[in-house]
A and B are shown apart, each in its own frame.
Chain A
Amino acid sequence: MMDDGEAGPGRTYRIETAGRLSRVSAAAACVILFGLALVPVLAGRYVVQDLIFLFYMLALAQCWNLLAGYAGLISVGQQAFVGLGGYLLFALTLRGEINPLLAIPIAGLVAAVLALPTALIVFRLREAYFAIGTWVVAEVYRLVFAQIKALGGGTGTSLPPSVTSSVPGIDWIASMLDVRTPAARDIASYWLALLLMAGTLAFVYLILRSRRGLALGAIRDNEAAAAGLAVDITSVKLAVYVATAAMTGMIGALIYLQKARISPDAAFSVLDWTAYVIFITVIGGIGTVEGPIIGAIIFYLMQRYLADFGAWYLILLGTLGILVMLFAPKGLWGLVAERYDLTLFPTRRRLVVEAEHAERKGSSRTLS
């Protein structure tokens, strides 16, 4: 191994994260996002509705991936924040008469504020017990919202069209694309979902490439060693928990703006908002940015073509999750990435040694 301190003449060192492939894939991601933004102009209402579903499941999966795959916080209670976001949207628009577009970020903010005392309690539980503890907390939120009569109690309530149509720009969309108001509403939700999904993806990716991300990667790989290197584990974990609560809350608000009907059992469903999300992340590949994307697409296709089989579909999903965990714990993306040494969204820093001698040129070493 060469001594990094003695960079002799003609030898330069450089630390890079992005490679040529990742620059290509970043450009491709921009093109894909732009293409997705144009979908409502070209495609029908069903495609738009399907893609909204895909986008928010992917956004939820990225949040859970950051939480479990990097910070080691395996939560089975993220439905707490989805439901909280949804209910806050309903409370703010129905009771507070706030525009839904403004209610979404407020819902995220309140979810983050409530995540702090929640964390104080569940962080007392370690590892697997943390998982069930978060589930208990989600149940508490569900039972509390079932008691609030102003929001429909146990049976839930609906948003009137006057609220769902009050998102700014719906009239503009209706006249521009020559569609009826309900379709225009879907298109507005579509763009919001796309924005939120892209925002979550960018947020997760940028965090992972930052200094904090280095700490997160260290925690993922070996918590004790990370602590030994002076990573402040608790504060990093708390920050991730609160940030993902905020994002999950916003996604929840958007989901229920689109659904326009909420009930405690649906909004705080462990199956819909946590089990599916875990399977997406694990089947795609936990601890990578690419994994949840692959997982969400697979899940979407399964949901679309197999959901009619009801219980059998869920049995298949559970079996698939178990098989992947046993035989390919890094998920489908892990298999591909290992085989072809591929990363589309690189978060690892590479030390590149550039020497005068041709044979040394381009030899690189992966750091973290």
Chain B
Amino acid sequence: MSGWLDALIQGVLLGGLYALFAAGLSLIFGVMRLVNLAHGDLIVLAAFVILVVGDRFGLDPFVAVLIAFPFLFAIGFALQYLLLNRTLGRDLLPPLLVTFGLSIIIQNGLLQFFSADSQRLRSGAIETASIPLGGGIAIGVVPLLTLLSAIAVIMLLNFIFYRTPIGRAFRASSDDLEVAQLMGIDHQRVFATAMAITFVVVAIAALYLGLRANFDPTIGPARLLYAFEAVIIGGLGSFWGTLVGGVVLGLAQTIGARIDPEWQILAGHLAFLAVLVIRPRGLFPRALD
């Protein structure tokens, strides 16, 4: 019995990680209807950036990520402003294809520079620290921090979205781009800012990805699928829904793994397909898009 309880707790904690993967995807889809097929590879890229910054300056990953923030913010802004903005329009293919190409470029670029070896972010004792809950169940500190960070990120994104001028520009561009432009919104800059913020979220996701498990250049696409599943399960357009989606996915995976370790990933995918069949618009859809 305690085994199942443990699986439930670990599942919720794992859901925090998936919510972090998904929050960025949710933001850029919300603002500019962009589905970024390179999202998972960007998370892996950010993990390598944190790794390099940490190694070069001898810093703890938690400090290295702070230094990486401005770089990733700038890269995100530039990527959207210079490249991805050119692909947005009525036609669906250009953004999909360009981000797919980007995914292949990032994966192979990382392979070229870092080889296919597994890497890990090292942060000393905190990595293995855990809080005992009694009954043979313990909560890892890093998984707990992951979930708390996910909640903090989502609160922050909601704050930005609903309480700040740039958030108003986000919502205006999302609701009606043409009218937003008529009101003097420079949508190119708005979109670039959304991507820059996404890159910061991606960096936080990458920090916990690297602390919790090994990573290598090829694992990006699977992270994209988890992020995507969390967004769809939660319902498009709701950040809290994305958190719930991540938790549902995490629970499905840990319960599946509890039955048979080989079924972990499959159980997550099947839960996603089940939600799609039963509630095609997700659990908490914000609006009719």
A-to-B contact residues, CB < 8 Å: 68, 72, 74, 76, 120-121, 124-125, 127-129, 131-133, 135-137, 139-140, 143-144, 146-147, 270-271, 275, 278-279, 282, 286, 310-312, 314-315, 317-319, 321-322, 325-326, 329
Q: Contacts A124-B276, A131-B37, A326-B87 given; indicate if A136 touches B100 (C-beta within 8 A).
A: no
State whether the Cβ of B96 lies closer than 8 Å to any Cβ in chain A: yes
In the complex, what's the smallest C-beta–C-beta distance from B107 to chain A, in angstroms?
Answer: 8
Please determine whether B280 and A124 come into contact, CB atoms closer than 8 angstroms. Answer: yes
Chain B residues in 8 Å Cβ range of A279: 101
Please determine whether A125 and B232 come into contact, CB atoms closer than 8 angstroms. Answer: yes
CB within 8 Å of A: which B113-141 residues = none
Q: Is the interface of A mostly helix, strand, loop or mixed?
A: helix
Interface band, chain B: 35 or more
State whether the Cβ of B234 lies closer than 8 Å to any Cβ in chain A: no
Please determine whether A315 and B104 come into contact, CB atoms closer than 8 angstroms. Answer: yes
Interface bits B221-249 vs A (CB < 8 Å: 1, else 0): 10011001100100000000000000000
In the complex, what's the smallest C-beta–C-beta distance from B104 to chain A, in angstroms?
Answer: 4
Please determine whether A143 and B266 come into contact, CB atoms closer than 8 angstroms. Answer: yes
In the complex, what's the smallest C-beta–C-beta distance from B206 to chain A, in angstroms?
Answer: 20
Cα of A317 to Cα of B105 in the assembled complex, Å:
8
Chain B residues in 8 Å Cβ range of A278: 97, 100
Contacts A68-B93, A74-B93, A132-B224 known; list 8 others, CB within 8 Å. Answer: A132-B37, A133-B276, A139-B265, A315-B104, A315-B105, A321-B101, A322-B102, A325-B87
Please determine whether A286 and B93 come into contact, CB atoms closer than 8 angstroms. Answer: yes
B-to-A contact residues, CB < 8 Å: 33, 35, 37, 83, 86-87, 91-98, 100-105, 107-109, 111-112, 221, 224-225, 228-229, 232, 262, 265-266, 269-270, 272-273, 276-277, 280
Q: Contacts A128-B35, A147-B262, A286-B93 given; indicate if A275 touches B112 (C-beta within 8 A).
A: no
Please determine whether B96 and A74 come into contact, CB atoms closer than 8 angstroms. Answer: yes
Cα of A131 to Cα of B87 in the assembled complex, Å:
17
In the complex, what's the smallest C-beta–C-beta distance from A114 to chain B, in angstroms?
Answer: 14
In the complex, what's the smallest C-beta–C-beta distance from A74 to chain B, in angstroms?
Answer: 6
In the complex, what's the smallest C-beta–C-beta distance from B264 to chain A, in angstroms?
Answer: 10
Residue of B nearest to A144 (CB): B266
Chain A residues in 8 Å Cβ range of B221: 135, 270
